[in-house]
Copies of this chain bind each other. A is one copy, B any other.
Amino acid sequence: MFSQPEITQIINDALQRIQTNQHVDRLYEPVRYAIANGGKRIRPLLMIMAYNLFRDDILRIIDNAIAMEVYHNFTLLHDDVMDKAVMRRGKPCVHVKWNENAAILSGDTMLALSYRLMTENRAFFNCDADPAALYDAMQQAVNTFNEATIGVCEGQHLDMDFETMDDVSEKQYMDMIRLKTSLLLSCSLKIGAQLALAQPRQADLLYTFGEKIGLAFQLQDDLLDVYGDPKVFGKNIGGDIVANKKTFMLIKTLEMASDKHRQELKKWIAMTDFANEDKIKAVTHLYNVSGTRQVCEQKINELFAEGMEALDQLNVTDDKKNPFRQFALKLMNRQS
C-alpha cells in the first residue's frame, strides 16, 4: 500500500503534466494557475486510496484521479465568479487576476479537460484482466463521474437559490450540501473501487463513507463559524451570521426556537444597519438558548458514526481501513 504523502506526490506530478496546446498558451495560464494553487488534493487522494484497497497498480488510474481535481478546481473558479469572491487560498481569484471572461472560459476548458482525463485513459487498459470487464468498469466510472458533475452544479444552484428563500428546511439544506460538498468525495471513492473491479457493494460502502463524512464536515464548518477558535478555524468567526448565510445553525434555530426567540432572530436577519460584533453576539446567544449547538453536534456525531459504520462493513482487512479512519479524523480535526 502507498502512503498518503506518496500518493499526493504522484497526484501533484501528474497535475503538472496535463497536456495543453502551446498554440493557445494564454488560455491555459489561468488553468495552470488555478490548478497549481494548492489544496489538499483530497478527491484524487481518496480515489487512489479506494483503488489501492483492492489493487496496487495505482498509476493506471492517475488520469481518472486528477480528472476529479481538475473538475473540483473548475467549480471553485466559477463559484468565485458567481460569489464575487476576491481571494482563494491566499491568492487573487482568476477573475481578479485576469478578468471575468478569462475565468468563465478557462473554467469551461477545465471542465472539458476533466472529461478528457476521465474518458481517455488508455493506461487503464494495460492490464491482464478481461477486456470486457475493464470496459465495463470504465463505463461505470464515467457514469459515476456524470452523476458528480451534474449533481455539483445542482448543489451550487440550490445554494444560490437559498439566498433568496425565507423557508429553507433542514431536509433541503442537507440535500444541498450532499450535492455541493459530499458528492465529489463519495464519487471519488466509488470510482476508485469501480476501476479496481471491486464488487458493487464495496463501491457503495465507500460511497456512503464519503457521503457521511462530507456531510459531517460541512455541518462542523457551520458550527465552527459560530463556536470555532479563530486561530484554528482560518476564517473570521461569525462570517455566516453577518451574511445571513442559511447554515444548519440558522435553519435549525428558526425551526426549534421559541416564538419570541424566532422573532428576535428574524429581526436580526432583516436588519441592515448594525455592528458586526453586536449581531454575532446576539445571534450566537439565540443559538445557545435554542439548543442548536447540541443538535448540530449530535448530528455531526451521528453522521460521523454512520460513515465509520460503512467503513467497518467493508470487506478488506482492518489495517487497510485505518488510513481512511485517520483521514476522516484529520478532516474533522479530531483525535478519536
Contact = CB atoms under 8 A, between A and B. Distances in A.
Contacts of A143: 119-120
Contact of A108 (B21, B23, B120, B153): B153
A160 interface: yes
Interface in A97-151: 101, 104-105, 107-109, 111-113, 115-116, 119-120, 131-132, 135, 142-143, 146, 149-150
Contact of A135 (B113, B120, B135, B160): B135
A26 B157 contact: yes
Interface centre among A23, A131, A146, A150 (most CB of B within 10 A): A150
A142 B158 contact: no
Contacts of A81: 104
A252 interface: no
B150 A105 contact: no
A109 to B, nearest CB: 4
A111 B113 CA distance: 12
Interface string A170-208: 000001000000000000000000000000000000000
A161 interface: yes
Copies in the complex: 2
Interface in A56-105: 78, 81-82, 101, 104-105
A224 interface: no
A109 B150 contact: yes
A6 B6 CA distance: 57
Nearest to A110: B153
Given A26-B157, A82-B105, A105-B78, A119 B116 contact: no
A81 B82 CA distance: 13
Given A109-B153, A160-B105, A116 B27 contact: no
A149 B146 CA distance: 16
Given A78-B105, A104-B104, A135-B135, A154 B116 contact: no
A29 B157 CA distance: 12
A105 B109 CA distance: 14
Nearest to A157: B27
Given A135-B135, A146-B120, A153-B108, A24 B82 contact: no
Given A115-B115, A116-B149, 4 more contacts: A23-B175, A105-B157, A112-B153, A132-B132
